[in-house]
Structure 1
Amino acid sequence: MNGLLADRRIVVTGAARGLGRSFAAAIAQAGARVVMCDILAQELQDSAAMLREQGVQVETQVIDLASPSSITAAFSAIAKGGAIAGLVNNAALATGVGGKTMMEYDIDLWDKVMQVNVRGTWLVSQAAVPLLAQTPHAKIVNIASDTALWGAPRLMAYVASKGAIISMTRSMARELGPQGICVNAVAPGLTRVEATEYVPAERHQLYEQGRALSGAQHPDDVNGSVLYLLSPLADFVTGQLLPVNGGFVFN
């Protein structure tokens, strides 16, 4: 994969840990200069330092997807470094949003998930478009979830937010296509990362036994799909959803 993204500058949100950190590392190893963004300032710096030790180019930017002013400020700072060729909308609120039925959900939690996962993704994309439009064949990759494909129970706000990401991807692809920007989504299955440590063992077991390719899913299993959609190999691919879940659900 080395050189697949050479000479490109790519922004990854939610990059301090988990899938986002894995995406950032894979993108950097493919030759891109990565802008790692996250609300977790210290973890962000620690992850960036780890990648720099591997000899790759990394920038960092603290961002809070719940705050429009934070998003504006972050992209004003990113713009000082020039155009970008790609954006991975990975940041989302996932920890602590499951376990309740639709009858038990409270409005504050619902609104918080929508504020970060849906509105935040829209605002980040909106802020990124002027920088993406400066690069031919720029790419946006939205990270959805296969929970929106099979309707995972006791997780309704998260499922609804990821369903919105899938729909937004298609609408964004139509709107941004005339500017030469491709917009696609990847829907990972339940992945073994920090954010899923709270998930009950039986839910992990359901996935691991129910996949066509049985077993646990790890961040490295998703990297290749994200790299492909960011790369010149996908210059004529837009508005698509790619589930990456070992065949737990088919699309």
Structure 2
Amino acid sequence: MSDAMRTLAGRTVVVTGAARGVGRAIALACASAGARLILADILVDQLSETAAQLAAAGHVTRAVPLDLADPESIVAFAADVAAHEGRVDGLVNNAAIATGIGGPEFDAIEIDTWDRVMRVNVRGTWLVTRAMVPLMGAGRIVNVASDTALWGAPRLLAYTASKGAVISMTRSLARELGPRGIGITCIAPGIMRNEATEYVPAERHRLYETGRAVPGPQMPEDITDTVTFLLTPGALALTGQVLPVDAGFVFT
């Protein structure tokens, strides 16, 4: 592949939640587009496997453990990146937890569950962004939210609220980071078929797969071209935008 086709050539990209599923697919796509990758996840063994696969294919990559629920882990992660790479051109805030899809109604959610989802999905995304921005020049950030926050998915309140917060943070940060030349966008996929969603009730999968404008299952690979484009210099004009990449389940 020529450098002209390698849209992320020469750029260093951090992908959180890169051990499996959506994050792994994003990492593979970024590597194919020429990026040097820093892969982060709490699932250390699977993270190492993903990094080894990329390295075997000739891609430049490092795996660094990261626990979004632990502020000290995030500080240590940033220090590691600063020491080894020195700068970052792109950040994909993909890591998150989803609990109880199609599960308890709003008044049956455990407070500990609510707090854990917010701690990882909202506070963790903010803290990773805060830690990476000082290492960026004219960088690009892509937050991975969910279209559940756009259509109001029932029986999923903690997760839906957390992803709504990620969308709001994206818009606010676009105004704060724009003067620095940093663009930040948000994608809102629907439920995808991968190992991370095997527990999702079959009826919720059917709801999506029959309700999309392009019917059928959505795979992690279906969103990766969008993410790689949003990490390029040419995506700055889209800063602050939320893109529902869900094959037309939600229109905005």
Query: Structure 2-normalised TM-score?
Result: 0.96
Deviations 1:140-166 (A, max 9, x none): 100000000111111100000000000
Deviations 1:53-98 (A, max 9, x none): 1111111110000000000001100111210000000000114565
The match for 1:149 is 150
1: CA distance, partners of 2:66 / 2:42: 5
Matched, 1:30 2:4: no
1: CA distance, partners of 2:51 / 2:6: 20
Deviation at 1:232, TM superposition (A): 2.1
* Aligned counterpart in structure 2 of residue 44 of structure 1, from 31, 44, 47: 47
> Which SS does the other structure have where 1:212 is aligned?
coil
* Aligned counterpart in structure 2 of residue 58 of structure 1, from 53, 61, 66: 61
Structure 1 residues 97 and 124: alpha-carbon distance in aligned structure 2, compared to 1, 3 A threshold: farther
Matched, 1:77 2:64: no
Asked if structure 2 preserves the Cα contact closer than 8 Å seen for 1:97 and 1:157, the reply is: no
2: CA distance, partners of 1:97 / 1:190: 10
The match for 1:109 is 113
1: CA distance, partners of 2:101 / 2:72: 25
Deviation at 1:18, TM superposition (A): 0.4
Asked if structure 1 preserves the Cα contact closer than 8 Å seen for 2:39 and 2:63, the reply is: yes
> Which SS does the other structure have where 1:236 is aligned?
helix
Write out aligned runs for 1:1-251 (5 A).
2-80=5-83, 81-96=85-100, 99-132=103-136, 135-136=137-138, 138-251=139-252
Structure 1 residues 97 and 69: alpha-carbon distance in aligned structure 2, compared to 1, 3 A threshold: farther
Query: Structure 1 residue runs of 4+, over 6 Å off?
Result: none
List gaps (5 residues or longer) in structure 1.
none
List gaps (5 residues or longer) in structure 2.
none
Deviations 1:127-180 (A, max 9, x none): 001001xx23x1010000000011111110000000000000000001111111
Asked if structure 1 preserves the Cα contact closer than 8 Å seen for 2:12 and 2:37, the reply is: yes
> Which SS does the other structure have where 2:188 is aligned?
strand
Asked if structure 2 preserves the Cα contact closer than 8 Å seen for 1:95 and 1:195, the reply is: no
1: CA distance, partners of 2:80 / 2:241: 30
Q: Percentage identity across aligned positions?
A: 58
Asked if structure 1 preserves the Cα contact closer than 8 Å seen for 2:101 and 2:201, the reply is: no
Amino acid at match of 1:199: V
Deviation at 1:44, TM superposition (A): 0.4
Deviation at 1:237, TM superposition (A): 2.0
Deviation at 1:103, TM superposition (A): 1.2
